[in-house]
Amino acid sequence: MKFAHLADLHLGKKVNSYSMIENQRAVLRQVVEKAVKKEVDAVILAGDIYDSPVPEADAMEVLNEFLSALKKEHIEVFMIAGNHDRGDLINYGASLLKEMDIHVCGTWNGTMECIDMLDKYGPLHVWCLPYVTPASVNRFMKEGEPHAETFTEAVRYALRKAHVDTTERNVLIAHQYFNGAVVTAGGSEDYLSLGSEIVDVSVLAGFDYVALGHVHTAQAVGADTIRYSGAPLIYSLAEIGAERSFTLVNLDDKGSYRISTVELTPEKEMAHLKGTFRELLDPETIEANRDKYVNIILDEEKEIPEVIHVLKEKYPYVMGVSYADGRIRLEGSTEVHTELRDGVLTEIRELKLKEPNELFADFYEMRNREPMSEEQQEYMSEIVAEIFGGAE
Ligand SMILES: [Mn+2]
pLDDT tens profile 167-212: 999 999 999 999 988 888 778 886 555 667 899 999 999 999 999 9
Distance 5 CA to ligand 1 centre (A): 14
Interval between CA 181 and ligand 1 midpoint (Å): 14
CA of 215 to the centre of ligand 1 (A): 6
What pLDDT is stored for residue 202 in this prediction?
Answer: 95
Same domain? For 287 and 228 the reply is no
Give the number of other Cβ atoms within 10 Å of residue 179's Cβ. Answer: 12
For the chain, the C-alpha Rg in angstroms (whole number) is 23
Kindly give the parts of the chain with pLDDT less than 70: 190-195, 327-354, 390-392
Burial of residue 56 (number of CB atoms within 10 Å: 0-12, 13-18, 19+): middle
Residue closest to 129 by CA, chosen among 99, 151, 98: 151
What pairs with residue 5 in β-bridges?
44, 247
Q: How far is the CA of 27 from the centre of ligand 1 (A)?
A: 16
Ligand 1 center–CA 165 separation, angstroms: 30
pLDDT at residue 333, rounded to an integer:
31
Whether residues 257 and 308 share a domain: the answer is no
Residues 67 and 110 reside in one and the same domain: yes
CA of 190 to the centre of ligand 1 (A): 7
CA distances from 183 to 11, 175, 203, 236 (A): 21, 15, 21, 13
Instruction: Kindly state whether residues 258 and 312 are assigned to the same domain.
Output: no
Q: Does residue 121 share a domain with residue 213? A: yes
- Verify that 226 and 338 share a domain, yes or no: no
Residues 128 and 187 in one domain: yes
**Residues 37, 71: one domain?**
yes
pLDDT of residue 336: 39
pLDDT of residue 345: 43
| Amino acid 204: pLDDT | 96
- 50 CA to middle of ligand 1, Å? 9
Distance (angstroms) between ligand 1 centre and the Cα of 98 equals 25
- Count up the domains in the chain and report the number: 3
Query: Do residues 285 and 198 both lie within one domain?
Result: no
Ligand 1 centroid distance, CA of 231 (Å)? 7
Expressed in angstroms and rounded, the spacing between residue 283 Cα and the centre of ligand 1 is: 38
- The residue range of the domain holding 380 is 356-388
